[in-house]
Amino acid sequence: MWFLGIDIGTTHLKTVGVTDEGTVLPAGRIRTPTVTRDGLTFHDAEEVWARTSELVARYAATTAHPHGALAGVCVASFGQEEAVPVDARGQALHPSLAWWQNPPRTALDPDTVELLDSYEHYTATGMRHRPAQTPERTAQLRATQPEVWRSTARWADFGSFAVHRMTGRWTSAVAQLTHSQCFDLATLEPLTDVMWRLDLRPEMFPEPLMVGAVAGTLHPDALPGVPLAGEVPVVTGGHDQVVAAHGVHRAGGARVLDSIGTSEYLMVASDVYAPERRAWELGIDHSRSWSAQGYLLGSATPTGKVVQLLADLFYDGDFDALFAALAAQPPGPDTGMHVVLADPDASDEGLLSISGLAPGLRAADVVRHALDRVADHTRTVLGEMCALAGIRPCTVALTGSLWRRPEMAAHRQARWGVPLDVRTVPEPVAESAARIARDAVLPGAAGAPPLNFAENKEVGPQ
């Protein structure tokens, strides 16, 4: 038998299987479907689930076929920043604007924005206000699609939507739920005054579960054509970055992690929740981790998007040419070029601005200086996060496709000056999800983490 990890990502849908003996099977992947409206990119939950179920069926019939029946499933997905309105029948009513884009106009009133971005609210939720989060997204629906909002019974992230299609239950990983800014991070109680102000109700949100908790039993017809090993549990995964961090941590106990996909997400594991004013000033996220007592400090930088932009601007989209130029271009004297990373939450700004381009400056100079600026910014934030967690900025575990480029890792090593441990797992999110499913079903199996999944039960209000 085998266990399935699903990663619903921004650009790709991925599957990885792990056998009962712990053997990792080759990954399957397809492009994540998108919808374009008025020049903006959206993800449609119905289409994403249809393509995901097709990918799983093909994977079970090919790669996983020699290993028998499916015995467990775990789903990870991009953040709750992308959630969809769902009606009482479980049908998605409207696609979700891609998380890296913002609507042209703000729908929330200034007083509500000020409340959601206040330090007082941050101490409860661990999150500062951003236009990509639930408050603004639901306000946009109320303003532009009132008939959709009137029919909305649930507000669900893409992982929750997939789990519901497999089990019939509405559940969500705690880290996804609290990113809505509508729940107290420490107690997981709904912030009813905030919800009332946003025209939300606690019952619109899925039931909160810890990583590794069983969300329900897979319906026999949920994944057509996939042989099942009796009653198959669907196990809670959640936010893709948290699931990837869990996999790295279980493999070696790393507390400082950096995962690059479309976004670079720095994470520092902490045993306490201490949302200090300095963390609020820096916009550092707090979320629950994979254990009932653990937290993660997090900070996102659109590094993958910056690299893509630089490749498109200077190398016709050729990543190999960009990284070859980066490796061949040694750190040089100050050229007077000035690179500023844009506020990722500003709807009227791009990714970065560059000024002071002197005549004769080469593309490789621009690329190096831009990536220097990204590296220096993330190193500063990492130091602050480690200080808040009460640890030194020790070895950083690196995961994600860009870190498999030795030129990128070498550049970051030179700028950061701390030990870097590149983890060359091809699909860290999907593999970690598969292992979470296996560990939940076979808790005594070799390689299972020192974590009592019996304690990872339902938490918070029911």
What pLDDT is recorded for position 69? 97
Per-residue pLDDT reduced to its tens digit, 235-280: 999 999 899 889 998 888 889 999 887 788 899 999 889 899 999 9
Q: Is the pLDDT of residue 321 over 50?
A: yes
For the chain, what percent of residues have pLDDT higher than 70? 92
Per-residue pLDDT reduced to its tens digit, 342-381: 665 554 456 777 777 777 778 888 888 889 989 999 999 9
In angstroms, the CA 220 to CA 273 distance is 41
Q: Which residue has the higher pLDDT, 345 or 15?
A: 15
Three-class DSSP category at 63: coil
What pLDDT is recorded for position 336? 65
Confidence band of 454 (pLDDT split at 50, 70, 90): very low
Handedness of CA 262, 263, 268, 270 (dihedral sign): negative
In angstroms, the CA 47 to CA 365 distance is 42
For the chain, what percent of residues have pLDDT higher than 90? 69
Three-class DSSP category at 36: strand
What pLDDT is recorded for position 6? 98
Q: Are 311 and 322 in contact (CB under 8 A)?
A: yes
Q: Is the pLDDT of residue 432 over 60?
A: yes
Per-residue pLDDT reduced to its tens digit, 329-340: 666 555 667 777
Q: Is the pLDDT of residue 341 over 80?
A: no
Confidence band of 445 (pLDDT split at 50, 70, 90): low
Q: HEC states along 126-152?
A: CCCCCCCCHHHHHHHHHHHCHHHHHCC
What pLDDT is recorded for position 350? 64
Q: Are 437 and 3 in contact (CB under 8 A)?
A: yes
